[in-house]
Amino acid sequence: MSTTSLQAAAVVSGSFLTGAMMSLSLISVPVFLDTTPQVPQLFRQWARTYHYGHLVLPTLSVCTFGLYGLAALRKRAAQRPWLPSLLAGVVTVLMVPFTWIFMVPTNNQLFLLEAASALDPDVMGMAAGTALVVYWSRLHLARSLFPLAGAVLGAAKVLE
C-alpha cells in the first residue's frame, strides 16, 4: 500500500469515526429524549449506547492513529515531510485522554444511576436525568471534534 493510500485510508477512517460519534449526540440522544418517558429507561438506553460505542470507537481511533503513524514513518524514511501526518494521528487519538479527563466522572455517575434506577425508579427525576444525559451528549460532541480535526489535517496532506 502506498503512503498516499495509507494517508487516505486514515482520513476515511477518521471521518467515519467522527460521523459515528457525532450521530450519537446529534441523532441518538435526541431520539432518546423525545421518546423516553421514564428516567430508568433513559439511563438504560444511555448505558447500552455507551456499551456498543465503547466496543468500537476507541479501537477505531487507535487504528486511525496507526494508519497515520505508518504513513508518517514511510514519509520520514523517504525524507519527506512526515510531522503533519503524525500530528493528524495524535489529534485523532486525543479523544481517549479527553474521555479519561473530562467524561469519566459523568460516565460513572450515569452508570451508578442506571444501576440504582433498576432498584428504585424514582432515584432521579426526569428533568435532572435529561439534563445529565444532555451534558454527556455535549461532552461527547466535543470529543467527536478530535477525529474531525485529525481528518482535516490528514486530508490537507493528501490533497497537497
Please tell me the pTM assigned to this model.
0.94
pLDDT at residue 1, as a whole number: 84
Q: What is the pLDDT of residue 160?
A: 64
Q: How far apart are the first and last CA of the chain?
A: 19
79: left (phi over 0), alpha (psi -120 to 50) or beta: left
Q: Render pLDDT for 35-55 as a digit per residue (tens, 0 to 9).
A: 999 999 999 999 999 999 999
pLDDT at 157: 74
- The Cα 79–Cα 3 span in angstroms is 13
- Residue 20 in grid coordinates: 459515528
pLDDT along the chain (160 residues), means of 10: 92 98 98 97 98 96 97 95 96 96 98 97 97 98 98 85
